[in-house]
Amino acid sequence: MSGLLEIDDLVAGYREAVVINGLSLRLADGKALALLGRNGTGKTTLIDTIMGLTRHVSGRIRFKGEDITHLPPEKRAAIGIGWVPQERNIFRSLTVEENLTVVQRGTAWTVARAYALFPRLGERRRNLGNQLSGGEQQMLAVARALMLDPDLLLLDEPLEGLAPIIVDELLAAIAQLNREDGLTTILVEQKARKILPFTDEAIILDRGAIVHAARSEALLADETAMSAHLAVAERPARSRRSPASRN
């Protein structure tokens, strides 16, 4: 079965270290994939490999039917792969608006559309990147990636260290991008329960290989798999108040 992104028997890593071990996956156009796993299991390395930033050992990556296995990162971006790394990589000495216009390539995403998705950015359009909060910087990083008009958006732990209200705003924006705009998304995150309701499919990595794959809603309900592969405890049972406490 073909997909927007096809990975076959991929082996990759950094220098002499092999991190991704014989990984294969298919991601259909318009789907959102949760990429899960404990720390050090290869999630970021897989994202980096899709972007062409690691040492390729063997296997193949195809995007929109084209073999991109040996394509340099800038050409992958040019053909429609957007990337938001953990470091965000915004221009801290430029204003919010300058950050957006300096990378704009296409016509589907405009500054006005970015502000509609993230109203906070519109309110701070004249602020420098280093004057933004961590959550606002993350919104700006996502908006910058969108200005390249991607067909696939890679988000590497976008919720890390953010306040709950910002997390909710980002997740709402990601849901809109996927479910309303049809943007294919791969979302790396430690907070499995937080992102599974916003994705269609999920895979769990361990030692650079897929150890579990399921529909997101099925994984969310599978306490055994969540505990075994992610060390996620079962939901705490609701405490029952005694009759006396109700009075």
Q: What is the mean pLDDT of the chain?
A: 92
Question: Which residues sit opposite 175 in a β-bridge?
Answer: none
Question: Which residues sit opposite 135 in a β-bridge?
Answer: none
**What pTM does this model have?**
0.90
Task: Select from 44, 64, 45 the least CA-distant residue to 56.
Answer: 45
Domain boundaries, the chain: 81-150
Average pLDDT on 197-211 reads: 96
With a cut of 70, say whether residue 182 has pLDDT above it.
yes
Average pLDDT on 24-32 reads: 97
Q: What is the pLDDT of residue 238?
A: 46
